[in-house]
Structures are given as C-alpha cells and as structure tokens.
Amino acid sequence: MAGIGAIASLSGILAAGILTYLFYNWYRLSHIPGPFWPSLSKYWLVQQSLKGQMHSALKEVTDEYGSLARVGPNDLVTNDPDILRKMMAVRSPYTRGPWYDAMRLDPARNNLLSLRDEEAHTNLRNKMAAGYSGKENSSMEGTIDKQIQNLINLIERKYLSTNKKSEPMDLGQKGQFFTLDVISDLAFGKALGFLDKDEDVFEYIKITEQYIPAMLVMANIPWLARLTHTRLFRSLLPNEADKLGFGAFIGVAKQITRDRFQPGAEPQKDMMGSFIRHGLTQEEVAGETLLQVIAGSDTSAATIRVVLLNLMSSPPCYRKLQEEIDSAIKTGKISSPITDSEAKQLPFLQAVIKEGLRITPPATGIFNKTVPKGGDVLNGIFVPEGTQIGSSFYGVHHSKKIFGEDADLFRPERWLEAEGDTLATMMSTSDLIFHYGKYQCLGKPVALMELNKIYVELLRSFDFAIVNVNQPAKFLNAGIWIITDFWVRVTRREESP
C-alpha cells in the first residue's frame, strides 16, 4: 500500500508540475488573442506546415484575431507592416529566433540565412553586398541574357507547337531549370547545364522538393533541427559525397571553391570572386554559394511561373503586356535583348511584376524574431522578452486595407491607378517581399533583373496557353512554393515586331 501511495504522490507531483508549466507558458501570453489549442503546444504550427498550408493558416488567424495574434506557447504572428519594419530595422534590438537553426543547408556550418549572431551576420553581409549588387560583377546582366537565350533555344528546339503537332512543355520545370542555370552561372562562374541537357541535373529538383518541406517543418521544432546537425544524425543528411541531390550540390560548391583558393588561381569578376576579395574564408564561400543556388533559384522560379500563370488566366492583362512590349520594340525603346534599365521604363510590365510578387509572395516562412530584453509594446500590447514573433507575409500582401477589397485578385492595374499616400503605402509594403533593413535579401537585384527581362523576351517571341484549364498546375507551400505539372502550349508569334 505504501508503494502505491508513493506512486500516487509522485504522479500527483508530476501532474501538478506539468499543469504549472503549461499554465505558466499559457498565462505568459494569455492577454494576446488567438485560437486556444495552438497556445498550448507547437502541434498546430507543425500540422499546418505538414499540410503545406502555413501561409493561409497564418493569414486566417490574423484576419480573425487581429494584427498581432498568438499561434503557439511562446509564438505570435503579425501581418502589420510597421511591426515587421520595426523588427527588421538596421538598429533594431530584435534578433533572429531559433526558427533559423533549421536553415543550415550544410549541416557542418552556418550561412547568411541561418546565422543568428547579429554581429557576425552584419560583418558577413557587408562582405557579400558588393557581389550581389553587381558592382563587382559586371557580367551579371550578360549572364542572365545568356540563360534567357538558352531557354528560348530549348523551347525552339523541343517544345514549339504548331497546327499540325502539339509539344506540351512543363513550364514549372523549365522555369526552375532557367533560374538554376542563372544562379549557378553567377555563383560558380559556370552554369550547371539544366537547360542545355534539359534534365534535372543530379536529380536536384526531385530531391529538394522532398528535403525543403522537411526542413521547414523542423524549423517549428528548433531543438529537433539542432539535433539533426549533430554527429549522431549527420550521416543521414545530404553530404558532399552524394552523387545526387542536395549533397551533390554541396560537393560541387566545395570543389569549385577549392579550385578558386588554389595558389596561383586567376581572380575572376563574378560573385565568388567578389566574396573572396572581401575576405570570406574558403568554407564561408562554399556555404554562401550553396545558399545562393538554393534560395535564389526556388524563389525566382516561383515568381516567373506565377506571373505567367496569372497572365494566361487573365487574357486582357496578357494582351496589354504584349502590346506594351510590341509598342516599345516598334518605337525603339527597348533593345534585343532588353536591358534592365529599359525594362524599368515599361509601366505595365512593372505593375505585372509587383502584382505577381504580391499575389504569391515567393518566401512565406514564418521567419521568427525574438523580442529583446525588457519586452516591447506593439500596437498597445505588451509583449514579454524572449517571445517569438513570426511574419504572415501572405496576410500582409493580401491585406484589403492596403491593397483594396479585391486584394485576393491578380490585377496589375491597381499599381497604375493608386496615387499619393495609397500608392506610397502599397509600395513600402511591397518592398517587404524582400524583407527589410538588416535582413533585406541581398539577392533582390538579381531577382528583379531576371523578372525585368524574362517576360519581355518570352512574350516577344512566343504565345503561351494553359494545357489543363481545370488544374493548370499543382501548388505546395513549404515556406517556398513548389509548383509542378504546369503544362503549357507554346507557339511562335508570327506577327511579332
């Protein structure tokens, strides 16, 4: 009986401890509105991530509970652009949260995205900025032009349809082939040949479509992400000895970097050359070029595909953009290929790009930031120090308050109709697509240059039509958009200028 009593007492103590722990963690943020069950555990966040619905789930929460809402025991989410700018400002005391621990692409080391030490992050970022901006990479625009031409050549060689034959093309796949060749050419000094071979080199796309969703799920369980980086699990993760997939890319990055650091190696005026000149170590260069390929290809490819899908689904917009391109060609306002500066002068093209980025933000991860010591007051609500505040980027860019009652529709004209403060607010909110301040995406100039060029070059030569109007493509959100089975029919424009 004594034993039973002792067990009962121990059980009672444990139960009391668990209840006290749960109550304390729940109570700490109980003054902030949000759905009840997510406030008790991380299960809800993990569940939404597994479903590929995190972007829409977070939007629904902020739509219902307000611009600052609770989604976990120590987790809030916001769709307020002012809060996002405050957290990401250059001198902000907010820091990256444990969510970023899962962003290590090479388990052995951090990169610019996963690095949480603020001073180290700033120093590394400053060393890399010139390479990304193009200031020390004079071939950036020419490299993008070359890969666009490679895409056009591939279409003409294999995927042109006529009245007599149909050659459907998976634009989801080819769009990513293009961005992978662009970014690998910029990062490594040579493209990896996705377009030339018209195949998934190293089965990179196939394997990363499995790996990246898993990585984003683990980001919601930081201790698990850190555990996978230990020696115990490292053998199960991608590594440079792999012949296929993500690991093969790690191997390519390391080999090319080793070659660049060999005594007597000739300096080159590309991104890697810039990184080396600014003092990045061999390990840092390998890690950052790998990040370039992963982050730069998936996000840009998603926007290229989304814009073309929306244009094909909106014939008036499609025709209006094509007419603007045709008119600019006839009047000599654009070259062949179009330059980045020329593209910036085409108002409807710019409206289409902004609207495409807005309607489907390319990166929709939660990107948690940690509330600094002493806590903070946000929208009149006190938030204790150590709280994790995530971003509902999908909610921000679908805000009816900012973009109008039709914010869920693809309508580029909104950018040409808006004026004054309304336009200024839309523009400043749109800038958050590439984040802000000390966390602004360094790849922004590259991404915008790709977008400024590719639609003009494709639409001046070809017409595109959706093959399966009932299901144009398959979408999965894993913090980034995985878009597959996007089949289109491509025909030559006989009457193009």
Chain centre to alpha carbon of residue 429: 16
- Does residue 454 form part of some domain? yes
Which residue do the tokens 């039973």 mark? 4
- The tokens describing 139, both together, are 């071939």
Confirm whether pTM is higher than 0.85.
yes
- Does residue 26 form part of some domain? no
Query: Of the candidates 104, 43, 161, which has an alpha carbon nearest to the alpha carbon of residue 291?
Result: 104
- Does residue 23 form part of some domain? no
Query: Of the candidates 215, 227, 294, which has an alpha carbon nearest to the alpha carbon of residue 49?
Result: 215
**For the CA atoms of the chain, what is the radius of gyration?**
24
317 carries a ligand binding annotation: no
> What residues make up the domain containing 220?
32-492
CA distance 98 to 393: 19
Q: Domains in the chain: how many in total?
A: 1
- Does residue 1 form part of some domain? no
Per-residue pLDDT of the chain (497 residues; tens, 9 = 90+): 555 655 556 665 666 556 565 656 788 999 999 999 999 999 999 999 999 899 999 999 999 999 999 999 999 999 999 999 999 999 999 999 999 999 987 777 899 999 999 999 999 999 999 888 877 777 899 999 999 999 999 999 999 999 989 999 999 999 999 999 999 998 888 899 999 999 998 888 887 788 888 888 889 988 888 887 777 766 666 677 777 767 777 788 888 899 999 988 888 888 888 899 999 999 999 888 888 888 888 899 999 999 999 999 999 999 999 999 999 999 999 999 999 999 999 999 999 999 999 999 999 999 999 999 999 999 999 999 999 999 999 999 999 999 999 999 999 999 999 999 999 999 999 999 999 999 999 999 999 999 999 999 999 999 999 999 999 999 988 888 989 999 999 999 975 55
- Does residue 412 form part of some domain? yes
CA distance 159 to 170: 9
- Does residue 15 form part of some domain? no
- Does residue 8 form part of some domain? no
- Does residue 11 form part of some domain? no
Q: Are 285 and 189 in contact (CB under 8 A)?
A: no
Q: What is the largest CA-CA distance in the chain?
A: 97
CA distance 427 to 429: 5
CATH of the domain at 326: 1.10.630.10
CA distance 204 to 295: 13
